[in-house]
A and B are shown apart, each in its own frame.
Chain A
Amino acid sequence: MELSGGEIFVQCLKDEGIEHIFGYPGGAVLHIYDALYRQDDIKHFLTRHEQGAVHAADGYARATGKPGVALLTSGPGATNGVTGIATAYMDSIPMVVFTGQVPTPFIGSDAFQEVDTIGITRPCVKHNFLVKDVRDMATIIKKAFYIATSGRPGPVVVDIPKDTTDPGIKIPYEYPKSIKLRSYNPVKRGHLGQIKKAVDLMLSAKRPIVYSGGGVVTGDGSKELAQLIKATGFPITSTLMGLGAYPASDSQFLGMLGMHGTYEANMGMHECDVLIAIGARFDDRVTGKIKDFCPDASIIHIDIDPASISKNVRVDIPIVGPVKRVLADMVKVVKERRDKQSADEALVPWWKAIEAWRKKDCLKYKQKGNTIKPQFAIETLHKVTGGNAYVTSDVGQHQMWTAQFYGFDQPRHWLNSGGLGTMGFGLPAAMGAKVAYPDADVVCVTGDGSIQMNIQELATCMHYGLPLKILLLNNGYLGMVRQWQEFFYEKRYSQVHVEAQPDFVKLAEAYGHVGMRIEKASELESAMVEAFAMKDRLVLMNVITEPGENVYPMIVAGKGHHEMEMSPESELS
């Protein structure tokens, strides 16, 4: 089969099993878009901004576990995509982003729409490639997907100069069946000796706790994690990124930990004697002050990436390997070595302490009067969607409330920018999830600040009929920044009041969607039921919420897990 570079590109995607891509055309990718036009297997979604395309591919990848694919043009197309690439990089999302480039003879000449895409993206990709010869195209694309999806996943950029896609140059095509790189060999399983050592330490623990992260979601280790938790009887807490990997409704789950984690989770961390970190990376939002982090604990750390181990916190027993496999091996050893009755008994005092912390009800809030509390809005969302929706979020207070109050029971249902904290992520990510699961409820929880960062994607949703739901918690503020200014800057509210808001209902309608304004707590549930009943319409619910509400508990930067600030409504305040 003789194909041009543009056709090779398309054929590679087909051979890789790619069905959906998100992109935006331009001069450097005209040949590729022409090749896309002449086929029906791959469906292309034209977003309204390149950032939207990359976030949509990212959301698709998070929801499905399959690699997301975006296609952008050179220059501004590529630079607009950088925020999306960096977002995926920080959260280890498998994604391949193709960027057009000026023809090879023009590279370096400051040509029209030329930018050093390889140089600009280098610090925020797992790897990147420049296709200098059409004969390398198929191998590079194969390598790109292999690298993006194996080991610790991440985004890979493939920069394609226009002349390598020239329709006039046809070469024989063959897609490599497999690829081997001598310099890249991700670990396939954990060291059994280390696993046995870890289990011995776990079974000797009096106050153990499992701290599970996004790696369990990315590594599809939820089932094995649940087996471990049931086999050991240990309490488990999760990072923001790990929510859903273990069911929130289970009694052994203590809620999220860290800066806005629960009292029981953070106290559990502070008091534990053995910490089992699984697919988590000891982020500063999780650890708080490093010196006060789990002061009495011996630490076991399971991670696919050796560089994550002992990066921020020294660990005692590292296990490098894919979480799914390591956990499966671990469960086997636990079952061999654990004497159920005596081990359960040994944990009784620990669970007693945890239950006492739990009784403090740290997430308590009072929905009084008719002004809607954001927490109440999220709880209502959970009720109306049966806890089964794919929920994306932007960044800020609404993100934390969703994490605290939605109660995720399934992995890959909570899609948010945890590492980079990218406002504008939620709507395009929800599009990606909706493309992947057209029959599921997909809802973007957002704020009046964040939604305006990629609002143009409402047009994409109309164009392709993506009837997702938007729950806009509108408090008229950049709420999280306002909260910090209230706490740490003596209420000097600098540039956080979002004045001149658009009429969000009319805005939704202008894009052809349904808009709702919801102001009363008494009307919230029925309005939400109505919105979700409109299966084939995108509905933007503009929910006017209590403007001064804060996210609690909160660990102030530089403090330890035991030094949480509690909500005025909590028993602890």
Chain B
Amino acid sequence: MRHIISLLMENEAGALSRVAGLFSARGYNIESLTVAPTEDPTLSRMTLVTRGSDEIIEQITKQLHKLIEVVKLTDLSEGVHIEREMMLIKVKAEGDQREEVKRLVDIFRGCIIDVTDTSYIIEMTGDGDKLDAFVRAVHEDLIVEVVRTGPSGIARGAKGLAL
């Protein structure tokens, strides 16, 4: 099962490598990981996507919690939540393709943020499925490069993950 785990941790050097090291040392999967400081500069917020049986996920959350720098943690997949990922994708855009690609970007509600005679850079956010669908919709010969952030997540409702 895919799980999306959100954690608040001390914004200290080495904290990220402790998390990454835990996954490699214990043989857990890590699909994606995003991290950045929060409104409180002493805290970082991390979103981590992993896969495993219920037992493994239980161990992952417990082991993460055991890291001294992890302040709070929640498995977003246990409740309703929102996931967003951002993608920057550079595509070839020449001749007829220029209009075709632009139309596609509009349909997916992305925006073109850089233009040359022969290329576009498109910015798009959404859940992972939407970004996958867009990548599939663009002819593969047109894709120059794809940069994805991996998902960030937040629980729905008024309650937040805070101190």
Contact = CB atoms under 8 A, between A and B. Distances in A.
A127 B68 contact: yes
Contacts of A183: 9-10, 68-71
Interface in B16-34: 17-18, 21, 25
Contacts of B25: 123
B58 interface: yes
Main secondary structure of the interface of B (DSSP, over half): helix
Q: In which size bucket is the chain A interface?
A: 10 to 19
B71 A182 contact: yes
B69 A307 contact: no
Interface residues of B, number: 20
A126 B67 CA distance: 8
A416 B68 CA distance: 27
A321 to B, nearest CB: 15
A395 B58 CA distance: 33
A140 to B, nearest CB: 12
Main secondary structure of the interface of A (DSSP, over half): mixed
B8 to A, nearest CB: 9
Interface string B16-54: 011001000100000000000000000000000000000
B146 to A, nearest CB: 31
A220 interface: no
Contacts of A147: 68
B65 A306 contact: yes
B62 A307 contact: yes
B159 interface: no
A184 interface: yes
B21 A126 contact: no
B68 A305 contact: no
Contacts of B70: 183
Nearest to B71: A183
B163 A307 contact: no
Contact of B55 (A184, A307, A310): A310
A485 to B, nearest CB: 29
Nearest to B163: A182
Given A183-B70, A307-B62, A122 B55 contact: no
B64 to A, nearest CB: 9
Contact of B18 (A122, A130, A181, A314): A122
B95 interface: no
Given A183-B68, A183-B69, A183-B71, A119 B63 contact: no
Given A306-B62, A307-B63, A181 B68 contact: yes
Nearest to A123: B25
Contact of A119 (B9, B17, B62, B65): B17
A118 B17 CA distance: 10
Interface in A297-318: 305-307, 309-311, 314
Contacts of A314: 55
Contacts of B63: 307
Listed residue (A118, A130, A181, A183) with the most chain B CB atoms within 10 angstroms of its CB: A183
Interface of A: 118-119, 122-123, 126-127, 130, 147, 181-184, 305-307, 309-311, 314
8 tightest Cβ-Cβ pairs between the two chains A and B = A307-B62, A183-B71, A127-B68, A123-B25, A184-B68, A307-B66, A306-B62, A307-B63
26 contacts: A119-B17, A122-B18, A122-B21, A123-B21, A123-B25, A126-B68, A127-B68, A130-B13, A181-B68, A182-B71, A183-B9, A183-B10, A183-B68, A183-B69, A183-B70, A183-B71, A184-B68, A305-B66, A306-B62, A306-B66, A307-B59, A307-B62, A307-B66, A309-B62, A311-B59, A314-B55
